[in-house]
């Protein structure tokens, strides 16, 4: 078995299509996970136990069960309930929901790290609750947690191939289609494997430098 450069060249159009879909999933999935995670994190601090408890159990459950099974769950069960989404939408929602339970923990840690005095100051100024959060607590919390969120975006990137299982045309699915039509398995799979490393490694360097700059 030898390496065939023409197979790589043939794969390129599909490869770029896959890159686009992967990035689309990544961007929308990140947005979902960042905003939903914040909702969970605020709910963790809700005054009522009847809000805190279900949210805790739900996020813990989603966090400790496999994304792949959740993906199938949404893909096969939502239509039974009369909600019909495309595979791409389902996949993006699944990945965003799954990672929102991680970002929720990150937000929680960030919020807990804001010094007590800041809460007291907001109280002393008699700021309303939404101003306390939006002007005092969250800006300080989010600065600290940006690197941790970045790490989860990278993790999310490496989970996007799971969406191939429901037929989303991201990188892995594109390489499988290519292999199915040309019987060349080596080149497409190797190309996308290297592509992941080439994106993930510089991204992790970026996160590390952010960490040095923002956290201390």
Partner 1 sequence: MTAGLWQNWVLPGIWITVQLLVYSAALAAVTAFAVGMARTHRSRAVRFLAGLYTEIFRGTSALVLMFWLFFVVPPLMGWQLVPMWAAVLALGLSYGAYGAEIVRGALNSVARSQRESGIALSFSPWQRMRLILLPQAVPEMMPPFCNLLVELLKGTALVSLLGVGDVSFAAYLVRLATQESAQIYTISLVIYFVLAMVVTRSMKALERRTKRNIGIEPEPALLGGLFARRSASAAGTEVAGGASK
Least spacing, CB of residue 127 vs partner 1, in Å? 27
Report how far apart the first and last C-alpha atoms of the chain are (Å, whole number): 52
Nearer to partner 1, 124 or 197 (CB): 197
Helix axes 87-112, 67-80, angle to 10 degrees: 130
Which residues of this chain interact with partner 1, rule CB under 8 A? 1, 56-57, 60-61, 64-70, 72-73, 76-77, 80-81, 105-106, 109, 147-148, 151-152, 154-162, 164-165, 171-172, 179, 185-186, 189-190, 192-194, 196-197, 200-201, 204, 211
Least spacing, CB of residue 141 vs partner 1, in Å? 14
Q: Give the separation between CA 189 and CA 182, rounded to whole angstroms.
A: 13
Are the C-beta atoms of residues 152 and 102 closer than 8 Å to each other? yes
Q: Which residues of 87-96 are buried (b: 16+ CB within 10 A; e: fewer)?
A: bbebbbbbbb
Least spacing, CB of residue 33 vs partner 1, in Å? 12
Nearer to partner 1, 57 or 125 (CB): 57
Nearer to partner 1, 55 or 122 (CB): 55
């Amino acid at each position: 078995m030898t390496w065939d450069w023409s197979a790589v060249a043939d794969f390129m159009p599909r490869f770029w299509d896959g890159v686009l879909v992967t990035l689309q999933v990544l961007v929308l999935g990140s947005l979902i996970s960042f905003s939903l995670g914040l909702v969970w994190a605020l709910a963790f601090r809700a005054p009522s136990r009847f809000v805190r408890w279900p949210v805790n159990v739900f996020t813990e459950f989603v966090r400790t069960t496999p994304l792949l099974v959740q993906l199938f769950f949404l893909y096969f069960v939502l239509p039974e309930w009369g909600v019909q989404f495309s595979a791409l939408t389902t996949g993006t929602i699944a990945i965003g929901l799954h990672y929102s339970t991680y970002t929720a923990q990150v937000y929680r840690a960030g919020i807990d790290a804001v010094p007590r005095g800041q809460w007291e100051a907001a109280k002393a100024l008699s700021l309303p609750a939404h101003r306390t959060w939006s002007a005092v607590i969250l800006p300080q919390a989010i600065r600290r947690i940006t690197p941790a969120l970045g790490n989860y975006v990278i993790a999310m990137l490496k989970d996007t191939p799971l969406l191939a299982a429901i037929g989303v045309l991201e990188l892995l699915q594109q390489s499988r289609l290519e292999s199915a039509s040309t019987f060349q398995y080596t080149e497409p799979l190797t190309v996308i494997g290297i592509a992941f490393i080439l994106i993930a490694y510089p991204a992790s360097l970026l996160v590390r430098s952010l960490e040095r700059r923002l956290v201390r």
